[in-house]
Structure 1
Amino acid sequence: MRTTLQCLIGAVLLTGAGLAGTGALCASAADTADGADPQMHHHHMMSGTMRSTVDYVLPPVELVRDDGKTVSLIDELNDGRPVILTFIYTTCSTICPMVSQTFETLQTELGSGRDKVHLVSISIDPEQDTPARLRTYAARFNAGPEWQHYTGTVAASIATQRAFNVYRGEKMNHTPVAFLRAAPGKPWLRIDGFATPAELLSAYHDVVASS
């Protein structure tokens, strides 16, 4: 049975690039392969975004980092650093550049503390997004050493998307979403919608302070 859509309309301001736009997020359990998050604790809306605290189980898959090294997703995300994660693909011309621009600004706003954080962008188009293409994409947004981009097999990518309840079956159907976690074993803060750099920075400080 199709559920009622929840539509969130939010304005996004991308500082540092002089870009402004308005994003719309419409999500429904019927639009996902797995339905609503069964482990969602609570949610609330803030400035055109929706926040949820969720326990996700990471799949035991291998991804390929933008430096060409094959790595374990679990090991990469459980290295002890707080994680800020999103999903992108390099040929996207709408959502992904805006999300990546937000991450670029966030890097700057983290200041000297940026090396204590792991920024993660995972491709939802692994057939096209080779490590070399991801490196070129990362360079467009001045990704520092704390910000890695990942690809891999189609199966690994889908398993990762399903684990975070973002798999939509077709890359063109993806929506803007970011995930933050203070440390391994802690719940994830999920932010659906176009979060601004300031909102992500505030959320990062909140999850670290509460851990």
Structure 2
Amino acid sequence: MNRLLRLILPILLLTVCYGLPDPAAAAGKTYQRTQEQYQLPDVTLINQNGKRVRLKSIVDTNKPVVVDFIFGTCTTICPVLSAGFINLQNRLGADTQKVQLVSITIDPENDTPKVMQEYLKRYRAKPGWDFYTGSRKDIDLVMRSFGAYIPNKMSHYAITFIHQPKSPHWIRLYGILSSSEFLEEVRKVGI
């Protein structure tokens, strides 16, 4: 009995100190997936071509919509998220038009339509990936509505949202996804 305690006690102590393993980590996932409902504000944003578009008309379509928050001069998370978007478009091939990709700036003071056009060109974005800006007030409202508000652009994190057509629900993906995981998540909503 004493010997058994000596074998089990260290395991119990490690479990108490560090908790049980995270099931997502044990499954090899580098992100967390939840289903959410969001009440989006009725704001008008401006795309990379200078066109004014209501947010609700961007997301209330008959195809899945994938949203992320980035900024044009970012050198950390944004290039990773944007590489994910272009990889998704490339992997979808002919089906790329069946999904709307939406990047919303978190730096509206600097991300003008020209800057956003250059950004999309740098990533070789295909039709179906649009980049939006707006007033600071409207951008903050949008970030808050998604539960993704950050007061300092340098503190942003990897978060992506997928909306299934005609559904009140959004899939919230927190963390970095592989190309295969991202494609699988988008396919789950029906393309």
Q: TM-score, length-normalised on structure 1? A: 0.76
User: What CA RMSD, in Å, does the superposition of the two structures yield over aligned residues?
Assistant: 1.3
Indicate the residue corresponding to 2:141 in structure 1: 159
Q: Larger C-alpha radius of gyration, 1 or 2?
A: 2
Q: Kindly report structure 1 stretches of 4+ aligned residues shifted beyond 4 Å.
A: none
Q: Which runs of 5+ in 1 are unaligned?
A: 1-43
After superposition, the C-alpha distances for 1:11-38 in whole angstroms (9 at most, x for unaligned) are xxxxxxxxxxxxxxxxxxxxxxxxxxxx
AA aligned to 1:157 is I
AA aligned to 1:138 is L
Flag the structure with more relative contact order, 1 or 2, with Cα contacts below 8 A and sequence separation at least 6: 2
Q: TM-score, length-normalised on structure 2? A: 0.84
Indicate the residue corresponding to 1:177 in structure 2: 159
Indicate the residue corresponding to 2:119 in structure 1: 137
Deviation at 1:116, TM superposition (A): 1.1
Indicate the residue corresponding to 1:62 in structure 2: 44
Indicate the residue corresponding to 2:72 in structure 1: 90
CA contact (8 A) 2:59 2:163 kept: no
Give the strand-richer structure, 1 or 2.
Answer: 1
Alignment of 1:34-53 (within 5 A): 45=24, 47-53=29-35
Number of residue pairs the alignment of both structures matches: 166
Deviation at 1:57, TM superposition (A): 1.0
After superposition, the C-alpha distances for 1:80-127 in whole angstroms (9 at most, x for unaligned) are 211111110011101001110111111000111111110010000000
Q: Which runs of 5+ in 2 are unaligned?
A: 1-22
Give the helix-richer structure, 1 or 2.
Answer: 2
Distance in 2 between residues matched to 1:182 and 1:207, nearest whole Å? 5
Give the secondary-structure state (helix, strand or coil) at the position aligned to 1:157: helix
Distance in 2 between residues matched to 1:115 and 1:77, nearest whole Å? 15
Deviation at 1:154, TM superposition (A): 0.3
